[in-house]
Amino acid sequence: MALTEQVQPAEIRLHGHRVSYRIGGSGPLLVLVHGITSSSQNWEPVLPLLAERFTVVAPDLLGHGASAKPQGDYSLGAYACLVRDLLLALGHERATIVGHSLGGGAAMQFSYQFPERVERLVLVSSGGLGQDVHPLLRAAALPASEFVLPLITARPLRDAGAAVGHLLGRVGLTVGSDLGEMARGLASLADLSARQAFVHTVRAVIDPTGQRVDATDRLYLAETVPTLLIWGGRDRIIPAAHGAHAQALMPGSRLEVFDQAGHFPHHDEPVRFFAAVRDFMETTEPAAVDLERIRELVLEHGRIAEITAAA
């Protein structure tokens, strides 16, 4: 597990559960939230770059990485609360929240639940912005998938790299960061508690038809929060069209598509990713919390919805 001098591992107990995280750097605070079957290790390609300009905190969400994997709530709301509690414990009031894939959904939920704690949002190949998602994740939401996962994650199959590569290639994943990270994710599910947490997490946001949690009905609230969307043009897990649609619904937001990248643009083009985040941080001001404006937006959107329904 490669770490830099600027970023080091740490551990804390929250509500009786072990939470592992990485922390380091100096400057404005970035909280990096990984995706499903992943961990803070997912950010390694960009951690050294980000830590040169920012303070970074990258947790292993419960059920992932070195954090505890209890029987409990694995919803986006629970993950948002975990991030809030970690920030409180570390003495931070506000942060820019960077979320990848499932972590993007958690970042949006964090912003919705705790607007006073969000300075900016960076959504990377984010979930929660449309129904489409790769068939492998839809299959994981099927009944009895927990009984199939031990066969998929068995050591002989995981060790047969060429066979796994051929299998994933047949379902649309290409050799590169997507394949490597998917293989790493499969390996993490060899542990029973990790498999159980994975199934609970998947079923909280996905069903056999696709993503069932959709934040697009409240993206108008993003008017109050500077938002950057980063996507890979070759993303086969969550299509880049979700990012374009979301950007159109988020007043003042920015979208950067890395044409040659897949679902992990921060792996495929880490220097470009860092440059995009740095420019975004330097050219935007932290959100000014205005609960009255949020109230006005909610009421206004409700009236528009009523008029549309009546028509």
Catalytic (active-site) positions: 101, 235, 263
Taking the C-alpha atoms of residue 10 and residue 279, their distance in angstroms, rounded to an integer, is: 29
Determine which helix (DSSP H) or strand (DSSP E) holds 13, and give its type and residue range.
Answer: strand 7-14
Token look-up 């839809």 returns 138
Residues 258/40/221/134 CA torsion (nearest 10 deg): 60
* Cβ-based neighbour number of residue 250 at 10 Å: 23
CB count in 10 Å sphere of residue 42: 27
The helix or strand, by DSSP H or E, that contains position 177, with its residue range, turns out to be helix 177-188
- DSSP per-residue codes, 15-61: TTEEEEEEEEE-SSEEEEE--TT--GGGGTTTHHHHHTTSEEEEE--
